[in-house]
Homo-oligomer: A and B are copies of this chain.
Amino acid sequence: MGLNETPSGERTHIGFFGVRNAGKSSVVNAVTGQELSVVSEVRGTTTDPVRKAMELLPLGSVVIVDTPGVDDEGALGARRVERARRALATCDVAVLVVDGARGLSEADRALLSAIEGRGVPYVVAWNKCDLPAARAALAALAEKGPALAARTVAVSARTGEGVRELKERLARVVPVGTPRRVVADLVPAGSAVVLVCPIDASAPRGRLILPQQLVIRDLLDAGCVSVTCRETELSRALDALVGPPALVVTDSQVFGPVSRIVPADVPLTSFSILMLRYKGDLVSAVAGAAALDRLRDGDRVLVSEGCTHHRQCEDIGTVKLPAWLSAHTKAKLELAFTSGADFPEDLTPFSAVVHCGGCTLTAREMRARQARAEAQGVPMTNYGVAIAHMHGILRRSLAPFPEAIAALDATGD
């Protein structure tokens, strides 16, 4: 069941791209040591990206994304290029698999340009290097395009040559930087943090939802102490502590009652706001929330969630949020809903986008969605920010984030 595995959104997503019959799926199989997708001599047998979570040394926890083969032939090929571009948005690092014997094709150059345009770090796998023609073409590349050649590894999926070097090269180009924290950077080392987790009928039996797990785990990793209770036991939990907690984190749905219990000098925020900050850009979501005040009759609002199996969020997104939006705007809005990978390319029909915290998405995907909205001039906010805004408690929930408070001040709210 994979119950104890690293969540998909916390893994490094490695996308494999290439023209049909470059041997892309064979390279994927050689890298992973598994039969991930159907490999055959028929051109372009991989029609949808195949995703598989695995442990891959020296990279660690990864998701392998094997995309459809791309070429220049007709409309079907164009759709596949589009699909590959879309898959690129979800990838932390890309591998362009080239048919070394044929050399770089026009489609390869189009993919390279898309990869570089997205700023995704990449490695070129010059496949079929067991063939003299591929060796010769690679030598020619080194003369004509030394910059690209420096990013290229000679491999042969057939013989296994160069596969290990490809993996090591991938591990080197994956952006590392400072590991992001979900919450622990907001509080002094070793402090106590209170987590308010309401339990209603829609909560899955015997589980904690992913944001709760991510927060408790981050606090454990940082040597903090987390104190978990329902909103009905919050007063009791605060009384059980010798001193005030360094922070209170609550489910957005009970932000109102919780904000009345937590003393004014104790910082308070929500799981949803923490998730957004962890995965995306909190400041732009705060600016986006102001757009909710300007909604008028007939305006279209997109409500999007990152995952398809999250019954609690579904209830928030499709039931509670529409009711709050209606009460807040007093307008007859047209709501549209998407979940999972179905985030529209064209957001311009919408006056606003309200997105979930994105706990199951990679940070790259969440930021790509926000960047799309920004590029198209469509205000985008998130569940937690929108709910806090509509309940008049946004300023308090942003207190731990000075840059977000500055954005709030800029909206004149």
Contact = CB atoms under 8 A, between A and B. Distances in A.
Contact of A360 (B3, B217, B227, B242): B3
Contacts of A260: none
A272 interface: no
Nearest to A310: B4
Contacts of A61: 204-205
A219 B212 CA distance: 14
A311 interface: yes
Identical copies in the complex? 2
A362 to B, nearest CB: 12
22 contacts: A1-B360, A2-B309, A3-B7, A5-B204, A5-B207, A5-B309, A6-B205, A6-B206, A61-B205, A190-B233, A197-B220, A206-B217, A207-B217, A208-B213, A208-B216, A208-B217, A220-B230, A224-B229, A225-B227, A225-B233, A239-B242, A240-B243
A210 interface: yes
Contact of A192 (B1, B240, B360): B240
Contact of A4 (B10, B243, B311): B311
Contacts of A199: 217, 220-221
Interface residues of A, number: 53
B242 A4 contact: no
A259 interface: no
A164 B162 CA distance: 59
Contacts of A376: none
Contacts of A241: 240-242
Contacts of A6: 204-207
A224 B199 CA distance: 12
B217 A237 contact: no
Closest 8 interchain pairs by CB? A10-B206, A6-B205, A225-B237, A225-B229, A6-B204, A226-B228, A208-B213, A4-B310
A187 interface: no
Given A1-B8, A207-B217, A242-B242, 15 more contacts: A3-B7, A4-B210, A5-B309, A6-B204, A61-B205, A192-B237, A192-B240, A199-B220, A206-B213, A208-B216, A219-B228, A225-B229, A226-B227, A239-B242, A240-B243
